[in-house]
Amino acid sequence: MRAPEFWSGGGGGLAPFLLSPVSAIYAAATARRMARPGWHATVPVICCGNATAGGAGKTTAALDIGRRLGNRGIGAHFLLRGYGGKLKGPIRVDPTIHDSTAVGDEALLLAAERPTWVAADRAAGAQAAIAAGAQAIVMDDGLQNPTLDKDLSLLVIDGTYGFGNGRVIPSGPLREPVAAAAARCRAAVLVGEDETGALAALPPGLPVLRARLVPGPEAELLSGQPVFAFCGIANPRKFFSTLQEAGAFIAGKQAYADHYPFDEGDLRDLLAQAEALRATPVTTRKDFVRIPPAFRNRVTVVTVRLEWAEPVAIETLLEPLAARVPMPA
């Protein structure tokens, strides 16, 4: 789905007001659900979550933390619901047999790096991962899921979008009030500059770790070149800005709804537009896994990674959890 315009920052009008009673019910239901006790895993559980519906950089943050744990010799497994996929799990993602319709696009990105589990029941997914040898679990999303206790929760915030209009679904994009989400987190992670004043909504004393998205090495080849950029992510502006920062000239662009299922007709149209502009068709890694396989060799992927302003801050948060993992003799 594409988020309603009134969900954005400053979005007002009659709709949020009329929907506010439903938002109050939604928030109360979330609070009741979160009050339930969850299963406590025998290994550290780290959650990269957010307060809003849609993307905020959770998957990129999860990938970064998975790599940091790997650098410490810890066999971390990823765990997520598998949004957009039909499999409920628990099931270990196998990119050779699963596609985005089965497990969702984020799961395929994560599985390309380390063992990844899709599970609607996050506790059951964690149990399956531990049985398969997981020494730590990194959750992509799940801050509002109470079935699994978290040892470290991070509130990931997209600096360009913040908390939207600050209202709870359906009046706004919040899954729950910011204060409720932040109360369960050890720190916030601000990705990009705080363009909407989101940090002002956080409780005093909550540490804020700053980071930014940095394009992968393939972006260097596009510097000074015309590109036709297309994507179906929550905030297309982030992708377009990343390309510009890499020095690419955006000759044309096309944005779709988040998790948009590209078909062959879409790709024929997109490639025709790129050819007419004599531009290289480029997309995100997340979108690439939703492109029909027959067209993938004609599209360039630009990856991104998280660059921390102070890497020592995230390492300090991970240190006590890493110390709990028994290392081989």
Residue list, annotated binding site for ATP = 52-59
What is the C-alpha separation between 1 and 118, in angstroms, rounded?
Answer: 21
Residues 6+ apart with CB under 8 A from 54: 3, 173, 234, 235, 258
Residues 6-37 as b/e (b if ≥16 CB within 10 A, e otherwise) read: bbebebeeebbeebeeebeebbeebeeebeee
Residue 318: partners with Cβ closer than 8 Å, 6 or more residues away: 46, 65, 68, 69, 72, 152
Nearest in space to 65 (alpha carbons), one of 153, 157, 143, 132? 153
The two tokens of residue 278 are: 């004599």
List, in order, residues 6 or more apart from 296 with CB less than 8 Å away.
288
User: Minimal CA–CA distance to 294: which of 268, 255, 261?
Assistant: 268
For residue 163, the tally of other CB atoms under 10 A from its CB is: 25
Q: Which residues are annotated as a binding site?
A: 52-59
DSSP 8-state symbol, 314? H
SS3 7: helix
Q: Cβ atoms within 10 A of the Cβ of 296, count? A: 13
CA nearest 125: which of 103, 97, 101? 103
Pairing label, strands 208-215, 187-191: parallel
> Sign of torsion, CA 82 88 91 96?
negative
